Amino acid sequence: MKKKMALLTMAAVLALSVTACGSSDSGSSSDDSSSSSSSEVANKDKPLVWFNRQPSNSSTGELDMTALSFNDDTYYVGFDANQGAELQGTMVKDYIEANIDTIDRNGDGVIGYVLAIGDIGHNDSIARTRGVRKALGTGVEADGAINSEPIGTNTDGSATAVQDGSIEAGGKTYVVRELASQEMKNSAGATWDAATAGNAIGTWSSSFGDQIDVVVSNNDGMGMSMFNAWSKDNKVPTFGYDANNDAVAAIAEGYGGTISQHADVQAYLTLRVLRNALDGVDVDTGIGTEDEAGNVLTDDVYTYNADERSYYALNVAVTAENYEEFTDSTKVYEPVSNQLDEADHATKKVWLNIYNASDNFLSSTYQPLLQNYDDLLNLDVEYIGGDGQTESNITNRLGNPSQYDAFAINMVKTDNASSYTSILSQ
């Protein structure tokens, strides 16, 4: 009798053990085990990372701290927009000064540039527009900050949202003028639209082509569209942002330069913050503090703002002098490329969306990097591609959040964080 009771007790222990093992690994091939694990934690309490688009007021830029503090494991991952914007503006100014003997194409003493604006309500777009205008002296203050509004056309210098700047180089003073700028928004409402930028440079060049000495863009997608459509053939330097593979390669063909926002570091941080929360360890593990696999970041590639609950990667200018170091934008960052032991970091399931599946930077650089890191961090990530126009195109595919252990969200509009948190709060 005692022997029989012992066997029954042992069987019960084994059954409990099997149940526990199955429920701890939500990334296994069994949907039942994933759902069982995820349901142990309320959706509102699961780790959440906003990335690429920081929850904020698109009119004022004020951060949405309700979204950023949704729960104890909520953070934002992006890059230092102001530092990158200043770098881009300085890069353009330095190029003009270094090439002053040839850059004034029609010899009128005016360095004219056109500007492709991605999204007038996006913090990053606002910062980049301001950064260029500040560096070139064309910015006009409005409400304590440089005006970031598009101006339409301004060939005569009469626009009030900008002013003529000046550059002294080669013993001569040149006027710097923003000839034209517009938001690159297509008829369906998608912003940062490369095709719209290609059409815009066609219109501008046909109207005042010989006055255009420099082309500047808020990102490489729009920049490369204008470069391929017009400025490459006309040998007009074009400057973008993101260090996409095609833009970096184009520097050898006359593309003026771009800014690397350390997407490799951003992608790592996006998933590492979730990994740490899921493991119940300090959020700094594998970031500022070396983990057991040897992963760690140095403080010259990222910064953390505790008040904003935000991690920011730092930016690097990519020019003719160093572009060969940036030819593969999807390569993981070497200091954080070590595989985590699955025995200590069980696979977990993550829901992650890309706001616009057609966005060049996100689709060709950011998502491939995420897909490289998810294996290293033992995360089973489901990638959802949006249309770049409506939140519902994405939120409609978050119908069963209980089957996921964590979430990484890339909004269409920075104002719309509640569209997602309301689902997780149900």
pLDDT in tens, 319-337: 999 999 999 999 999 999 9
Q: Is residue 43 part of a domain?
A: yes
- Same domain flag for 229 and 293: no
Domain enclosing residue 299, as ranges: 28-79+263-313+329-424
- Same domain flag for 419 and 272: yes
Q: Is residue 44 part of a domain?
A: yes
Residue type, 374: D
Kind and range of the H or E run holding 174: strand 172-183
- Same domain flag for 144 and 48: no
Q: Compute the half-sphere exposure of residue 240: CA atoms within 13 Å on the CB side of its CA.
A: 30
Q: Is residue 1 part of a domain?
A: no
At 6, the pLDDT band (50, 70, 90 cuts) reads: very low
User: How many Å apart are CA 56 and CA 60, to the nearest integer?
Assistant: 8
pLDDT in tens, 64-104: 999 999 999 999 999 998 999 999 999 999 999 999 999 99
At 5, the pLDDT band (50, 70, 90 cuts) reads: very low
Q: Which of residues 236, 253, 284 is at a domain's end?
A: 236
- Same domain flag for 297 and 405: yes
β 172-183/74-79 pair status: unpaired
Mean pLDDT of 25-50: 65
- Same domain flag for 305 and 393: yes
Classify residue 239 as left (phi > 0), alpha (psi -120 to 50) or beta.
beta
Q: Is residue 386 part of a domain?
A: yes
Q: Is residue 376 part of a domain?
A: yes
CATH number, domain with residue 220: 3.40.50.2300
- Same domain flag for 66 and 153: no
- Same domain flag for 278 and 376: yes
Q: Which of residues 201, 236, 271 is at a domain's end?
A: 236
Six token digits for residue 160: 């009030």
Q: What integer pLDDT is reported at residue 39 of this predicted model?
A: 56
DSSP category for residue 426: -
Has residue 24 got a pLDDT over 80? Answer: no
Residue 144 contacts by C-beta under 8 Å, 6 or more apart in sequence? none
Mean pLDDT of 213-228: 98
User: How many Å apart are CA 175 and CA 55, to the nearest integer?
Assistant: 38
Q: What integer pLDDT is reported at residue 419 of this predicted model?
A: 97
Mean pLDDT of 247-275: 97
Has residue 380 got a pLDDT over 90? Answer: yes
At 339, the pLDDT band (50, 70, 90 cuts) reads: very high
Global confidence as pTM: 0.78
Which tops the pLDDT comparison, 359 or 21?
359
| Share above pLDDT 70 across residues of the chain, in percent, rounded to a whole number | 91
- Same domain flag for 216 and 267: no
Tokens 């095709």 correspond to 195
- Same domain flag for 105 and 54: no
Please give the mean pLDDT across all residues of the chain: 91
Number of domains in the chain: 2
Q: What integer pLDDT is reported at residue 60 of this predicted model?
A: 82
Q: Is residue 294 part of a domain?
A: yes
Q: What integer pLDDT is reported at residue 38 of this predicted model?
A: 55
Q: Which of residues 236, 254, 276 is at a domain's end?
A: 236
* Rounded-to-5 percentages of helix, strand, coil across the chain: 40, 20, 40
Q: What integer pLDDT is reported at residue 19 of this predicted model?
A: 37
Q: Is residue 92 part of a domain?
A: no
Q: What integer pLDDT is reported at residue 13 of this predicted model?
A: 36
pLDDT in tens, 109-160: 999 999 999 999 888 999 999 999 999 999 999 989 999 999 999 999 999 9
Q: Is residue 90 part of a domain?
A: no
Q: What integer pLDDT is reported at residue 30 of this predicted model?
A: 37
- Same domain flag for 400 and 303: yes
* DSSP three-state, residue 13: helix
Has residue 22 got a pLDDT over 70? Answer: no
Has residue 31 got a pLDDT over 50? Answer: no
- Same domain flag for 169 and 277: no
* DSSP three-state, residue 128: helix
- Same domain flag for 65 and 170: no
